[in-house]
């Protein structure tokens, strides 16, 4: 076993024109229902997971849903919205369709002050992607995603500007579901290394890990500085029975890893071993949608500000606590005020 992972170098606050975090991921509109009647089960969707569907499947699912609420979404896009809500400069790279949903997606991030590099799908590349979200009474979320234009992100869509200006590049694991994924991700990682940005990656989803385990292991071992995962995803990646065993692999690889553990909070690898950070107190969990995404907002923004990983994880649990107290995966309360009150900003 090698020595414990080196902690992320302490950094000064991003200077003028610099971005704390730029994300690259799926640009999606969330179509949300409260699923009192477990319609997701009748549709054969795996509960608690993101199920990929084609256009036909999406039409069938949408027809079976009740009236929906629409909010801009996408896992890493949610994280980036959270960074902006924390007062951080941030950027997002993705692809939308040439339609009103795409304009809305862009508006929602832009109005938060996020710098955008959105490629526009043309012709057959399809419409803006969407994610049908079923929120069951136990506050779990089951998703059926039609990727549409988001699925068409190509290596030639990746431009240098936002990456060159960023402290941290945050890559969505779901990107591996794109057919030309490896090439595009390769370009992002190379550019990030060239400009001395940290590379962080989210494992996104257990099934996503299973679909692309070799590619993920290769990326995490060779190119990634920061790994974000939940417990199930971490076990799936390292094929271990316990989180302790998984963290032994993390040590060997020498990556900074943070694993969210639901109501228990998060665990993180540090020079002093694995440290647990408790979850925020939340009176009434309404919708777990976005908990991991917003944890990443606080954690990555904390790192970009030069906080140590444990402090950064505390900022992460604070953000996660806010987003699960209401419907939808984007923050509604004033995160700057909450974090300042808690002494974390």
Q: What distances in angstroms separate CA 229 from CA 1, 18, 202, 264, 270, one per listed residue?
A: 22, 26, 6, 14, 16
Find the Cα–Cα–Cα–Cα dihedral 240, 259, 8, 221, rounded to 10°. Answer: 30
Catalogue the E-assigned strands of 75-190: 90-96, 115-120, 129-135, 141-146, 166-172
Calculate the CA 7 to chain-centre distance. Answer: 21
Structure tokens at 84: 């902006």
- Least distance from C-beta 335 to a copy of itself, angstroms? 12
Among 194, 244, 252, 332, binds a copy of itself (CB under 8 A): 332
Q: Is 308 in the site for a copy of itself (CB under 8 A)?
A: no
- How many residues comprise the chain? 345
Q: Is 100 in the site for a copy of itself (CB under 8 A)?
A: yes
- Least distance from C-beta 75 to a copy of itself, angstroms? 16
| CB-facing half-sphere around the CA of 42: CA atoms within 13 A | 12
Among 6, 54, 55, 107, binds a copy of itself (CB under 8 A): 107
Strands of the sheet containing 115-120, edge to edge, are: 115-120, 90-96, 19-24, 166-172, 198-202, 226-230, 256-260, 266-270, 273-277
- Least distance from C-beta 23 to a copy of itself, angstroms? 16
Q: Is 79 in the site for a copy of itself (CB under 8 A)?
A: no
Q: Is 334 in the site for a copy of itself (CB under 8 A)?
A: yes
Q: Is 328 in the site for a copy of itself (CB under 8 A)?
A: yes
Cβ pair 319, 86 in contact under 8 A = yes
- Least distance from C-beta 210 to a copy of itself, angstroms? 33
In the chain, the N- to C-terminal Cα span, in Å, equals: 36
Catalogue the E-assigned strands of 254-307: 256-260, 266-270, 273-277
- Least distance from C-beta 184 to a copy of itself, angstroms? 26
Residue window 11-50: x/- pattern of binding to a copy of itself, with contact defined by CB under 8 A: -----------------------x-x--------------
Stretch that binds a copy of itself, among 7-15, 187-195, 244-252, 326-334 (CB under 8 A): 326-334
Q: Is 330 in the site for a copy of itself (CB under 8 A)?
A: yes
Stretch that binds a copy of itself, among 58-66, 149-157, 201-209, 223-231 (CB under 8 A): 58-66
Among 50, 118, 127, 168, binds a copy of itself (CB under 8 A): 127
Structure tokens at 63: 């027809």
- Least distance from C-beta 67 to a copy of itself, angstroms? 4
- Least distance from C-beta 19 to a copy of itself, angstroms? 19
- Least distance from C-beta 305 to a copy of itself, angstroms? 23
309/295 Cα distance (integer angstroms): 13
Nearer to a copy of itself, 12 or 122 (CB): 122
List b or e across 326-335, with b for residues whose CB sees 16 or more CB atoms inside 10 angstroms.
bbbbbbeeeb
Nearer to a copy of itself, 115 or 223 (CB): 115
Structure tokens at 144: 């059926």
Which residue reads 């955008």 in tokens? Answer: 116
Q: Is 72 in the site for a copy of itself (CB under 8 A)?
A: yes
Note the residues at the interface with a copy of itself (CB under 8 A).
34, 36, 62-63, 65-72, 81, 99-101, 104, 107-109, 111-112, 127, 328, 330, 332, 334
């Amino acid at each position: 076993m090698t020595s414990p992972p080196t902690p992320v170098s302490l950094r000064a606050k991003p200077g003028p024109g610099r971005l704390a975090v730029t994300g690259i991921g799926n640009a999606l509109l969330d179509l949300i229902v409260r699923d009192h009647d477990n319609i997701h089960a009748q549709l054969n969707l795996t509960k608690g997971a993101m199920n990929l569907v084609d256009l036909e499947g999406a039409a069938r699912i949408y027809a079976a849903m009740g009236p929906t609420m629409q909010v801009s979404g996408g896992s890493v896009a949610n994280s980036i919205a959270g960074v902006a809500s924390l007062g951080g400069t941030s950027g997002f790279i993705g692809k939308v369709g040439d339609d009103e949903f795409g304009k809305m997606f862009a508006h929602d991030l832009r109005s938060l002050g996020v710098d955008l590099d959105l490629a526009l799908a043309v012709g057959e590349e399809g419409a803006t992607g969407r994610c049908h979200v079923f929120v069951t009474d136990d506050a779990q979320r089951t998703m059926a995603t039609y990727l549409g234009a988001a699925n068409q992100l190509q290596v030639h869509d990746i431009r240098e500007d936002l990456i060159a200006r960023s402290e941290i590049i945050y890559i969505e694991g779901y990107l591996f579901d794109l057919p030309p994924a490896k090439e595009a991700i390769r370009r992002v990682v190379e550019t990030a290394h060239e400009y001395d940005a940290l590379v962080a990656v989210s494992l996104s989803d257990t099934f996503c890990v299973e679909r692309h385990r070799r590619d993920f292991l290769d990326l995490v071992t060779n190119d990634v500085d920061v790994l974000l995962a939940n417990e199930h995803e971490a076990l799936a990646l390292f094929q271990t029975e316990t989180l302790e065993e998984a963290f032994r692999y993390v040590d060997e690889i020498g990556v900074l890893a943070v694993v969210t553990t639901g109501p228990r909070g998060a665990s993180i690898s540090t020079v002093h071993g694995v440290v647990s950070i408790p979850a925020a107190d939340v009176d009434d969990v309404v919708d777990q949608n976005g908990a991991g995404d917003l944890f990443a907002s606080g954690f990555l923004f904390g790192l970009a500000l030069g906080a140590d990983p444990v402090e950064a994880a505390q900022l992460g649990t604070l953000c996660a606590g806010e987003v699960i107290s209401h419907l939808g995966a984007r923050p509604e309360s004033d995160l700057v005020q909450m974090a300042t009150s808690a002494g974390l900003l």
